[in-house]
Amino acid sequence: MGQQGQAHARHLVKIAVRRYAAGMAKSQLSHLAVPGARIAVRVTPKASRNKITQGEDGTVRAYVTVPPADGKANIAVQGLLAKALGVPKARLTLAKGQKTRDKIFMVSMD
């Protein structure tokens, strides 16, 4: 991905996080923000709106409006998940699932 593509992806993430955060009172997944935790997320790109949900069985689903091209959806999911966990984006790393809908993010200690 070129510099222009990366800048555009960051811009889309900022917009998505602002819109999502406006409708979210408290960090809804803050109980998962434990250093060293691995969080499995099922991603739906090109959704009608950005949101993160947790089912009764504990599964986390992320819906993002951006397409999965050039890692844009991964960047958007990282931003939304960080906001839902109440941690900085820098503390989340994509451990598995770079090109699949099922992803595993790790929460770092920093």
Range of the domain at 103: 3-107
Q: 95 falls in which pLDDT band (50, 70, 90)?
A: very high
Residue 23 is given by DSSP the state T
Q: 67 falls in which pLDDT band (50, 70, 90)?
A: very high
CATH of the domain at 31: 3.30.1200.10
Could you give the number of structural domains in the chain? 1
pTM for this entry: 0.74
Beta strands in the chain (DSSP E): 38-44, 51-54, 60-63, 92-96, 102-107
- Mutual angle of helices 72-85 and 3-22, in 10-degree steps: 30
